[in-house]
Structure 1
């Protein structure tokens, strides 16, 4: 049975703070800088993180509450386009990401060993346990933190 290590828990719970620190002193111009057509800016990433964590919030709860449930797939590019990411408030999005991540961590921390083995079916990825979902979102925050750091370095001076 797989459960997160203490290091994974730390990273999972600290990702929002690390991301907040990484964007803390950026100007609007820096937040909105995109290195190319159809490439996300830091602003877009922050809005995406909130949406993704909201999907994770639902996926964790669906899997824990309903045995062998089916998890919907969502099209990130369609969300970015049709939810007008560029017009959304990225500070609000970062706050939402932070709160949703804290709620997810609080729920997951109280789960029994057996609960970590509960599974759902994802239309693209197949069977996923709570641990598999945890690992997905654990890695997701870190992936976008590194992307933010690369975008900061790429910003023209």
Structure 2
């Protein structure tokens, strides 16, 4: 079983994400999270997908698109670092990615389908990662991070955004 990363293995700004990951097997957690993500977003209509709880916040569709983009990028980082690549990996501007995606023009079902495909690819990458690769260190966004930490950051990031969807979007929409 993959062990939880030490806080020295990743930048401090990822602590809230890693802290959200429950104890247990990371693959099980990612699979359970996939199922709960499907259940959450399948219950949101295409029209509801445009909802923003405040004018300066992303729509529900944009949040799901952001979750997908971020997981895709973090999985790429995991692949590179897990293979021993020491090339410094660039950061990304999440707001520019959301704007550039024009995701609000897509159906919520298509966006969810993209998340599901991305998560399944993440799961197979993690499942097939050599044991020794989890301790490999690399540089992403000008900070040092281990492959193991990236796996937990991926899981925690999705958990974080689903929590926001439930607490800020769906609760505000139902008022």
TM-score normalised to structure 2 length = 0.79
Deviation at 1:141, TM superposition (A): 1.0
SS in 1 for 2:43: coil
Give the Cα–Cα distance (whole angstroms) in 1 for the partners of residues 47 and 114 of structure 2.
Answer: 22
1:33-82 per-residue CA deviation (whole Å, 9 max, x = no partner) reads 10112202211111112211221231121112243221210100011112
Counterparts in 2 of 1:152 and 1:30: CA distance versus 1, 3 Å: same
SS in 2 for 1:71: coil
Q: 1:140 aligns with which of 157, 161, 164?
A: 157
TM-score normalised to structure 1 length = 0.87
Contact preservation (8 Å) 2:84, 2:133? no
Q: Which moved more, 1:100-109 or 1:136-145?
A: 100-109
Structural RMSD (CA): 1.9
Deviation at 1:7, TM superposition (A): 4.1
| Unmatched 5+ stretches in structure 1 | none
SS in 2 for 1:3: coil
Contact preservation (8 Å) 2:27, 2:127? no
Question: Number of residue pairs matched?
Answer: 155
Give the Cα–Cα distance (whole angstroms) in 1 for the partners of residues 102 and 96 of structure 2.
Answer: 10
| Unmatched 5+ stretches in structure 2 | 5-22
Contact preservation (8 Å) 1:30, 1:152? no
Tell me which residue corresponds to 2:63: 45
Give the Cα–Cα distance (whole angstroms) in 1 for the partners of residues 130 and 44 of structure 2.
Answer: 41
Give the Cα–Cα distance (whole angstroms) in 2 for the partners of residues 107 and 61 of structure 1.
Answer: 7
